[in-house]
Amino acid sequence: MLSAHILRSPAFFICLLLFFIAPATAGAQRITISANSDWKFRQGRIVNPGVLPAAGWQAVTLPHSWNRFDTQDDEPGYYRGEGWYTRRIIFPPGWKEKEIFLEFGGANQVTEVFLNGKKVGEHTGGYTAFNINITSAVIFGPAGNGLTVKVNNSHQPDVPPLSADFTFFGGIYREVHIVATEKIHFERDQYGSRGIVITTPVVSAETGEVHVEGTLTNSGPAERKVSVRASVYYRDSLVSATATTLIAKQRSSFTIDLPAVKNPGLWSPADPELYVVRTTIIDAVTGIVKDELSSPLGFRWFRFDAEKGFFLNGEPLKLIGASRHQDYQDIANAVPAELALRDVELLKEMGGNFLRVAHYPQDQVVLDACDRLGILASVEIPIVNAIIETPAFSANCLNMQTEMIRQNRHHPSVVVWTYMNEVLLRPPFATDSLRRETYFRNVAALAQRLEDLTRKEDPTRYTMIPNHGNFALYHRVGLTRIPMIVGWNLYQGWYSGKLAGFADFLDKHHRELGDKPLLVTEYGADVDSRIHSDHPVRFDKSVEYGLTYHQVYLKAMMDRPFVAAGIAWNLADFNSEERGESDPHINNKGLLTIGRKPKDTYYFYQANLLKVPFLKIGLGGRSFLSGEANGEGILIQRVRVYSNQPIVSLFLNGKKLAEQRPVQGVATFEAGFRAGNNVLLARAGEGDALTDQYVVEAMPVPGQLSAITSGFPALNMCLGDPRHFTQENGRQVWLPEQPYKKGSWGYVGGRRFTMKDTTRLSFGTNEAIANTDLDPVYQTQRVGIEQFIASVPAGQYELTLHFAELLSAGPAKVLAYDLGAKSAAKDEFKGRMFDVQVNGVTVLEGIGAELTAADAVSYKIPVSVNNKEGLVVTFVPRKGETILNAIQIRKIY
Ligand code: GCB
């Protein structure tokens, strides 16, 4: 029996693989095997990669990011510096005649690779793949080799992105493969390219011409005659093939024109017919296969039209989809392949047909899935927000653009190459207009170089620059002229202005740039699934405002044929370490949560885009509801049903509530929930065959607390807040503030806390609150509150008072991406001090000093109630004004 150690050893695995592959291919062809296991990782500097420290290593498997745990803490910031990886790697003696490469899917962002202490290669840029030829440094046999990789994600002034609204996680965060080829093989050392390019110069429903060109490398001692054969397969049948013969020199190019494929199955979102092109190098003398590559092929043609939008295979096709960032809950960017491709499936299941691979090239599995599922795509390099005017920065940009095109051009799903996202967001040299004009000229010059390069590298696709909504500036600088299509990232009704401004902007583009095809490359609103509002307003992060926003935007885009695409920002919530807000370090504009749970906005798109019958009850994912009951103890709540069916009916606990015609895929019902579990059932479709059920627990709060005889509900209220906040794990709903009414509960006196700058947020603060995960509970406040009264019946209670100081000395932070933010100067803060009395007894004396800015502080106070007033909390100011952020009242017995 083989010992467990041998079974796990890479050498055994590689030899085993050779053993299986060898007879089938006469010992030739390339071997690819992953090298993801058995790594050790160490964070920090190492001076000599030839002499690694003995201690401080931890076992890891790729994909890996050292920032994984940074995503799980409350601390701002994350480790940006060096990380080292090492492992032993054994190559069998049978590989002595081969060329051996390490293929890195991606490592962020500057990587150096050492084999047996000797540097064998390096790569700059965190988002493109790279191959390193290690042949000359390999030691064959069981002693093995020490492979060491240094990765550095610290800020590099000449490497884009310089800044952005996402976290620059460090590590070897994509897979690594060992590739062993024959001495004669398709070229592998040019920008990580595959060595071949496949195009369809003529394609229609009747005929598809296939052209293959490429370069092969011969690193053997002698030139050899080879033939390169290209074969097109459709579902395992050969449909076209031909070969060319050439002498394989150190580097030789070839071109092949295949006999046309008659009546090809066309590739489209509805029917993503895929062909496979197998390109093979065969030794002309021995007939041995030297190398072979399989590539996907889609017969399709497309065009963007400034007047009529996008056309695929001659038919108009409105492109609607989303962008994707490459991270996931709690694992930073070290996302396993199955989760990455699941994202594309989720986009398809939403009814989307377009993926903006933003803001950087991603793992190959993503575009493989787009090819397979029929999702069109754009891919871009990460020049975000700004450039640096140095030759080194430009060189890195041009290099990345070349890598991106060469590594991804084999995907039929890709139709657009993109560069420079919102590059004029906050231009430098604000006080030196002459210098600023020079900067603008340099931006345009770099854009032109990237444009020229892209058109030369790949004349079969379109080019695009996505701009933010400053139409005049981008136009003046030339960024609307240089690319073939213009992308606009638009947030009217979010960062600025009103929702109606979106349609106005689209019409302005159409009027003033009538010859430029237009894609809405971004639009979105933060949705924190824990937050709900009956009176949604901009920037409140509520599920309801998010829904309204997407309703308005989708309609405006659908109504305008000249809008080729609407690409929601973002498919899923993603990490952005710099952000505070309701869910710190996360950008909440996803249609899915960061753990990929659908939000109501996702259902909204399903209802609008899916062709198959669709029906879904959306309560924002809540499993319980609370709020003030009516006279019969019933809790009235709005329920939305998302459907593409003409009529939808809703039943509650077996009783039909109503029938409705969904408007833009949404039907809104009022439902009265009784205390305890309630069953909602929606029905639609022919013979009501389509159903969706949703079970939700309701905890109505009686208007008159004194009337409660049993089952006292949890009473939680956020002061200064008009929204509901649901804490799923603790099964608590925090209700919006209300003034005290006799017999009920609420505040007396005071006013809502508002920032001086209310251009975005009409109440509360956007700053993250330390020492809590319930940031929204502390982000609003009643200032100058006199009392909080709850007319509870007699009994033993636990009262919890929650405070967080929302003022601090000094100005508030304005984030670069926050398009609407004015300089958000805070109120001048002079400190405060106050006492808190409960039923006449001073329980908190002179509090204030301990309330440091944006820090959650709670006090739990047991209280016996045996009077008619119930619970009366009185706030007595000593210096400045009193405050209260939230209150909880729990009955013990
Ligand atoms: C943008 C940026 C994107 C941000 C987004 C936002 O315009 O292109 O990177 O994440 O806005 O949510 O602010």
In this predicted model, what pLDDT tens digit does every residue of 501-544 receive, in sequence order? 999 999 999 999 999 999 999 999 999 999 999 999 999 999 99
CATH topology of domain 612-701: Immunoglobulin-like (2.60.40)
CATH classification for the domain delimited by 705-891, as one of 3.40.50.970, 3.40.640.10, 3.90.1150.10, 2.60.120.430: 2.60.120.430
Give the per-residue pLDDT at 710: 81
Percentages helix, strand, coil for the chain (3-state, rounded to 5) are: 15, 40, 45
How far, in Å, from the CA of 452 to the mean position of ligand 1?
27
- Token digits of residue 666: 């949404």
pLDDT over threshold 90, residue 71: no
Question: Whose CA is closest to atom 7 on ligand 1?
Answer: 489
CATH classification for the domain delimited by 4-186, as one of 2.60.120.260, 3.40.140.10, 1.10.645.10, 3.20.20.100: 2.60.120.260
How far, in Å, from the CA of 620 to the mean position of ligand 1?
24
**Which whole number is the average pLDDT over 789-796?**
95
Give the per-residue pLDDT at 340: 98
Could you give the C-alpha distances from 341 to 34, 74, 572, in angstroms and in order? 18, 29, 13
pLDDT, tens digit, 9 for 90 and up, residues 554-580: 999 999 999 999 999 999 999 999 998
Which of these ranges, 398-407, 416-425, 684-693, 737-746, has the smallest mean pLDDT? 684-693
pLDDT over threshold 80, residue 757: no
How far, in Å, from the CA of 727 to the mean position of ligand 1?
27
Neighbours of 754 (CB within 10 A): 18
For the Cβ of 589 lying below 6 angstroms from any atom of ligand 1, the answer is yes
Give the per-residue pLDDT at 63: 98
Which ipTM score applies to this complex? Answer: 0.99
For the Cβ of 760 lying below 6 angstroms from any atom of ligand 1, the answer is no
For the Cβ of 569 lying below 6 angstroms from any atom of ligand 1, the answer is yes
pLDDT, tens digit, 9 for 90 and up, residues 674-686: 999 999 999 998 8
pLDDT, tens digit, 9 for 90 and up, residues 5-62: 333 444 434 433 333 333 334 445 899 999 999 999 999 999 999 899 999 999 999 9
Question: With contact defined as beta carbons under 8 Å apart, do 376 and 344 qualify?
Answer: no
pLDDT, tens digit, 9 for 90 and up, residues 459-489: 999 999 999 999 999 999 999 999 999 999 9
**How far is residue 749's CA from residue 58's CA, in Å, rounded to a whole number?**
57
How far, in Å, from the CA of 419 to the mean position of ligand 1?
15
**How far is residue 215's CA from residue 185's CA, in Å, rounded to a whole number?**
9
Question: Whose CA is closest to atom 13 on ligand 1?
Answer: 817
pLDDT, tens digit, 9 for 90 and up, residues 272-296: 999 999 999 999 999 999 999 999 9
pLDDT, tens digit, 9 for 90 and up, residues 370-393: 999 999 999 999 999 999 999 999
Question: With contact defined as beta carbons under 8 Å apart, do 396 and 445 qualify?
Answer: no
Confidence at 869, pLDDT banded by 50, 70, 90: confident
For the Cβ of 421 lying below 6 angstroms from any atom of ligand 1, the answer is yes
CATH classification for the domain delimited by 196-297, as one of 3.40.50.300, 1.10.1370.30, 2.60.40.10, 1.10.460.10: 2.60.40.10
Asked if 4-186 and 705-891 have one fold, the answer is: yes
Give the per-residue pLDDT at 755: 82
Question: With contact defined as beta carbons under 8 Å apart, do 606 and 502 qualify?
Answer: no
Which of these ranges, 106-115, 143-152, 261-270, 701-710, has the smallest mean pLDDT? 701-710
pLDDT over threshold 70, residue 258: yes
Identity of the amino acid at 813 = K
Give the per-residue pLDDT at 712: 84
The C-alpha angle with vertex 163 and arms to 74 and 590, in degrees rounded to 5, equals: 60
pLDDT over threshold 70, residue 825: no
| Domain spanning 316-610, CATH class | alpha beta
Burial group, residue 787, by CB count within 10 angstroms (0-12, 13-18, 19+): middle
Question: With contact defined as beta carbons under 8 Å apart, do 253 and 215 qualify?
Answer: yes
State the DSSP string of 245-270.
EEEE-SEEEEEEEPPPEESPPBB-SS
Give the per-residue pLDDT at 822: 46
Burial group, residue 837, by CB count within 10 angstroms (0-12, 13-18, 19+): middle
Closest CA to 666 of 600, 602, 591, 604: 604
pLDDT, tens digit, 9 for 90 and up, residues 317-367: 999 999 999 999 999 999 999 999 999 999 999 999 999 999 999 999 999
pLDDT over threshold 90, residue 151: yes
| 490, 528, 569: residue to mutate for ligand 1 pocket, most atoms within 8 A of CB | 569
Give the per-residue pLDDT at 809: 57
Compute CA 33 distance to the chain's CA centroid, rounded to the nearest angstrom: 29
Domain residue ranges of the chain, discontinuous segments joined by +: 4-186, 196-297, 316-610, 612-701, 705-891
**Which whole number is the average pLDDT over 173-201?**
97
Give the per-residue pLDDT at 18: 36
Give the pTM.
Answer: 0.95
**How far is residue 876's CA from residue 840's CA, in Å, rounded to a whole number?**
11
How far, in Å, from the CA of 817 to the mean position of ligand 1?
6
For the Cβ of 385 lying below 6 angstroms from any atom of ligand 1, the answer is no
Which of these ranges, 24-38, 91-105, 699-713, has the smallest mean pLDDT? 24-38
Question: With contact defined as beta carbons under 8 Å apart, do 355 and 323 qualify?
Answer: yes
How far, in Å, from the CA of 423 to the mean position of ligand 1?
12
How far, in Å, from the CA of 596 to the mean position of ligand 1?
19
pLDDT over threshold 60, residue 838: yes
